[in-house]
Amino acid sequence: MKKLLLISFISLSACSLNITGPTIDNQNTNTNTNNIDIHDIGSFTPSANPTTPVPSPTGGTEVPLNIPSNAQSIATQYASSHPIKCDDWSFIDGLVQTLRNNDTRWGYLVKSSGGVSHDVIAYRATSDNIGAWGVDVIIDYCGSSHFGWNVIGFDPLALWTGSRN
């Protein structure tokens, strides 16, 4: 009889237990402020100080030119009335031409694969076609594809071309 009573007591006690798990509070605050989307340029490696003379492939050295101060406002004005469409070169072509109307050093950034970047344009900062500033102008290419003006930097080995053909 004692064994039965003990088992009954354990059964009754177990029924009155109220078990709660821990409170889960998953919060993720994204502190990433990087909005540069240069997924297709590959080997573009900006230098730390573009005011230092860089070697020229044809010999000698030269100090790279800076991006013209009015370029961003020209590009922003162009972008305000020209939509960006995925896999459509019309936005980049028009933007490069608009910038070239003011300074013929604007052009296309050549990727390490030999093709032209879809979302980064280039400003030729040296007397050769090597040595350029990269400017990311389409943020989230083929996603939301919206205009931006993010100067990536100057790469003394970056290839520039005035035409993508």
Task: List, for residues 14-42, the tens digit of each pLDDT value.
Answer: 556 566 655 655 554 444 444 445 556 66
pLDDT at 142: 86
Q: Which residue has the higher pLDDT, 10 or 65?
A: 65
The answer, as to whether pTM is greater than 0.85, is no
pLDDT at 57: 62
The pLDDT of residue 65 is above 60 = yes
DSSP letter (8 states) at residue 103: -
99: Cβ contacts below 8 Å, ≥ 6 apart: 71, 74, 75, 106, 121
Q: Which residue has the higher pLDDT, 133 or 24?
A: 133
The pLDDT of residue 147 is above 70 = yes
Quickly list H helices, the chain: 2-15, 71-79, 90-100
Nearest to 37 by CA among 132, 134, 114, 141: 141
pLDDT at 34: 45
Q: CA-to-CA distance for 70 and 81, rounded, in angstroms?
A: 18
pLDDT at 156: 84
pLDDT at 61: 75
Q: Which residues pair with 135 in a beta bridge?
A: 121, 151
The pLDDT of residue 82 is above 60 = yes
